[in-house]
Amino acid sequence: MNVGVLGTGHYLPKKIVTNKDLEKVVDTNDEWIRTRTGIEERRIADDDVNTSDMAYNAAKNALEEADVKAEEIDLILVATVTPDTPFPSVSCMLQDKLGASNAAAMDISAACTGFMYGMITAKQFIETKAYKKVLVIGSEKLSKITNWEDRGTCVLLGDGAGAAVLGEVSEGRGILSFELGANGAGGKELYQNEDNHLVMNGREVYKFAVRQMPESTVNVVEKIGLSKEDVDYLVPHQANIRIMDAARERLGISEDKMAKTIKKYGNNSAASIPMALSESVKDGKIKDDDLIVLVGFGGGLTWGAVAMRW
């Protein structure tokens, strides 16, 4: 059985915070942020909008695109490091908000790689015929764990949500291969501290990402007997344009063949990949039969990649 994406969705808070706005908050400047990261602005959710609210909007969008009713969903998986509360889970809150009364629900914690872990978990349940339709979401309100006094991290992060409905697709399509990984010894490079703030050793994470993203991308493509030249479109985790470009250049694919939401939305952790996927689908950048690779890395340390025939 082939498992693939039946529909995608995303949601972004309305409030835009530009690099110029951040100049008033920390000792930074637009030029530094743009040249070092590729970020120009990001969205920040209002106080009364939480991770589950953003997840709800992205999920509605994905269900509509897939033409699937909430009651048809068998399992909800929400990847997040910023849940409304540790429990009940965001997925349980979402199950209620959506009226997805037939769905089991659980959250997945794999930081920025969470959506990849979610997709592959969904694939197992569908392949074994336990479930038919699984809703996978990445939703993050990173602004609530951002240290607004740390210029090394606060300029990078933004809020948002992305979603996908997974189910059976026709022969030859959908997820063709995947790779998931973790290195717990690297946990100290990126974590949440006792003040509930995100702490990052930027240089170490950068080195890890620049090596891992291209490697995982090549691995999933080679697993299906293809080569990097066969990749039509790349959806990388949106952490830093320099990391993304390194992966793209190693694959030898042109700029227009890579999803690039970082400029407008910054780094949205687990939400980055599904948001970028959904936006690329809606913008017509992903076409039928394209070979696409989704690839991410993040805290844990974790990483993951998926090769899909659209």
Residues catalogued as catalytic = 112, 237, 267
| Pairing assessment for the beta strands 233-236 and 104-108 based on DSSP bridges | unpaired
Position 132 contacts ligand ACO (CB under 6 A): no
Smallest gap from Cβ 180 to ligand ACO, in A, equals: 17
Identified binder of ligand ACO from the candidate list 92, 209, 258, 308, rule CB under 6 A: 209
* CB of 122 or CB of 142, closer to ligand ACO: 142
Angle at which helices 241-251 and 202-223 cross, to 10°: 30
Position 212 contacts ligand ACO (CB under 6 A): no
Position 151 contacts ligand ACO (CB under 6 A): yes
d(CA 24, CA 42): 15
Beta bridge mates, 293 = 234, 307
Binding residues for ligand ACO, rule CB under 6 A, total 22
Residue burial 61-78, b: 16+ Cβ < 10 Å; e: rest = bbbebbebebebbbbbbb
Site string for ligand ACO, 11-50 (x = CB under 6 A): -----------------x---xx--xx-------------
d(CA 290, CA 277): 13
Which residues in the 174-193 window bind ligand ACO by CB under 6 A?
Answer: 190
State the residue for tokens 């076409």.
287
d(CA 61, CA 8): 7
Identified binder of ligand ACO from the candidate list 298, 300, 303, 306, rule CB under 6 A: 298
Tell me which residues touch ligand ACO (CB under 6 A): 28, 32-33, 36-37, 112, 151-152, 155, 190, 200, 202-203, 205-206, 209, 239-240, 243, 267, 269, 298
